Amino acid sequence: MSLYKLLQRQPPSAPSVVEHEQAIVDHIEQRELIEAVHQLTSQTRLIANNAVPPVSSGGKRKRFPDTEKLLIPPIPERNGRTPGGMPKARGVVFRATYDCSTTLVKTLSCFSSMCEFVPLMFTDKGLSVQILGSDKVAFASVFIPASSFMKYENLAENVINVTIAAEAVEKMVTACSPELSFTFMYDQYSNPDEPLHVMLYPRTESSKDDQVLRKTFRPCDVELNGAFPDFQYQYRVHVDPRTFSNDIKELKKDARTISLVMNEDRFELSCVSKRGDSNTNFLMNAIHVDDGKEDEEMISSTTRTKRCIVQRLKDADPSITIGQLSGYKISAAQLRNTCTLADMAACTGLTLQLGLIQMDGTEGLTEIPIYLRFAMRSGTIGPFKVEWWIAPRESTE
């Protein structure tokens, strides 16, 4: 089902999406294979050098370490020539440095399986990325506040918009490390053809002798359309990211569609095998908490035990009950794509929202896109969030 049709409350159509979903899965598996080889190579080098592996980027740290211990990358000298070789007008170089290149680049690379381009928007509030999948089934949004960057400065324009190739971002993953920071640099002098420069730089004094990597992304002249989803949900579910990811990957092995079922006692993920000869169900015991009464410690202690927290939202339609949320059917390939985020050490929380609406020209209620909110490095260095909407699959697909 298309997100556009749900936003407009139009009766859905049922196009075949098998080829596109298989392409998503193939892309994810290829990406994970490359990363696995990279990790194995890194571990082999550590063993050979009798070295200690670097601390995970998801480690619990309450604030930025001493700025004296973090290396702030220098901005290279401004190039006085345009990409075409002409003298540049007067300008200033914008700089945004994030302390962990692995976390940032792996997050942005997640979109390479849903769209060919990554549109970056820098404002005084921070970095925003919004992507509508090429099949219009999924929409993703990333927001990294300016305060989460080590340095975020020299923004002379109200907004910097630059779109780069998703494949080029994905190819940078294996060059990244928790010991390298990531810096965006953009020369602001009113030239839409100006490339985006990035730099991997040693993060701390202990790694100051590591090599520096600089890369240039040519801007892509494309126009990406997509309305930001705005739906009224009735229920919120807090789950453990790793448990959710493991369940989805297990169900995806033998199914194209995954069902999400809610009731008073539990939250369920299930599927029927492709040949229809078996059913698989993962059941999480549910704890009901009033909306607004939860806190991070309660969520963390509950989800760590593979239970979930279910909340009815305060402004939910009173005529819709939890028992009616029993028919959610979501593409297994689309859910599988989100597991890349859930598997990251930097992912500290996962929240889902589900709901129903009345569609124009139809009888009864229709499931609206499932909403997934990934909290990245919450309560630690450089927190940000990733939001993902996936339109439900029709039973006829």
Verify that 111 and 215 share a domain, yes or no: yes
Q: Look-up: residue for tokens 């006085």?
A: 80
User: Among residues 204, 228, 252, which one ends one of the domains?
Assistant: 228
Verify that 141 and 169 share a domain, yes or no: yes
- Whether 282 maps to a domain, the answer reads yes
Answer whether residue 395 shows pLDDT above 70. no
Task: Mark 8-46 as b/e (b = at least 16 C-beta within 10 Å).
Answer: eeeebeeeebeebbeebbebbeebeeeeeeeeeeeeeee
Verify that 283 and 378 share a domain, yes or no: yes
Q: What is the pLDDT of residue 135?
A: 86
How many distinct structural domains can be found in the chain? 2
Rounded to whole angstroms, how far apart are CA atoms 199 and 216? 9
Verify that 257 and 123 share a domain, yes or no: no
Q: How confident is the model at residue 272 (pLDDT cuts 50, 70, 90)?
A: very high
Q: In what order do the strands lie in the sheet with 196-202?
A: 151-153, 92-98, 180-188, 196-202, 213-217
Q: How many CB atoms lie within 10 A of CB 249?
A: 15
**Residue 254's CATH number:** 3.10.150.10
Q: Give me the DSSP letters along 215-257.
A: EEEPPP------PPP----SEEEEE-HHHHHHHHHHHHTT-SE
Mean pLDDT calculated for residue range 223-248:
89
Q: What is the pLDDT of residue 143?
A: 97
Query: What range does the domain containing 203 cover?
Result: 21-35+92-228
Answer whether residue 147 shows pLDDT above 90. yes
Give Cα separations from 85 to 41, 93, 259, 309 (angstroms): 41, 18, 56, 59
Q: Look-up: residue for tokens 């995954």?
A: 258
Verify that 220 and 246 share a domain, yes or no: no
Q: What is the pLDDT of residue 207?
A: 81
Verify that 168 and 127 share a domain, yes or no: yes
User: Among residues 197, 212, 228, which one ends one of the domains?
Assistant: 228
Q: What is the pLDDT of residue 396?
A: 40
Q: Look-up: residue for tokens 């030239």?
A: 191
Per residue in 354-391, pLDDT (tens digit) is 999 987 777 788 899 999 999 999 988 899 999 999 99
Where does residue 236 rank: exposed (0-12), middle (13-18), buried (19+ CB within 10 A)? Answer: buried
How far is CA 62 from its chain centroid? 22
Q: How confident is the model at residue 18 (pLDDT cuts 50, 70, 90)?
A: low
Residues 6+ apart with CB under 8 A from 26: none
Angle of helix 18-48 relative to helix 332-342, nearest 10 degrees, comes to 20
Verify that 264 and 185 share a domain, yes or no: no
Residues 6+ apart with CB under 8 A from 181: 70, 71, 73, 97, 98, 99, 100, 101, 150, 200, 201, 202, 203
Answer whether residue 51 shows pLDDT above 60. no
Share of the chain above pLDDT 70, in %: 81
Answer whether residue 50 shows pLDDT above 70. no
- Whether 80 maps to a domain, the answer reads no
Verify that 325 and 378 share a domain, yes or no: yes
Tell me the sheet residues that pair with 92.
188
Q: Look-up: residue for tokens 């009173």?
A: 318
Q: Positive or negative CA dihedral for 114, 115, 121, 122? A: positive
Per residue in 191-220, pLDDT (tens digit) is 888 899 999 999 998 888 888 999 999 999
Per residue in 104-141, pLDDT (tens digit) is 999 999 998 889 999 999 999 999 999 999 888 999 99
In this structure, what DSSP letter does residue 304 have?
A: T
Verify that 155 and 25 share a domain, yes or no: yes
- Whether 264 maps to a domain, the answer reads yes
Query: Regarding predicted confidence, which is higher, 200 or 53?
Result: 200
Answer whether residue 58 shows pLDDT above 80. no
Verify that 187 and 269 share a domain, yes or no: no
- Whether 157 maps to a domain, the answer reads yes
- Whether 339 maps to a domain, the answer reads yes
Q: What is the pLDDT of residue 158?
A: 87
Verify that 199 and 267 share a domain, yes or no: no
Rounded to whole angstroms, how far apart are CA atoms 96 and 92? 13
User: Among residues 228, 262, 293, which one ends one of the domains?
Assistant: 228
Mean pLDDT (the chain) is 84
Verify that 30 and 167 share a domain, yes or no: yes
- Whether 195 maps to a domain, the answer reads yes
- Whether 82 maps to a domain, the answer reads no
Q: What is the pLDDT of residue 66?
A: 45
- Whether 275 maps to a domain, the answer reads yes
Q: 240: closest CA among 83, 350, 325?
A: 350
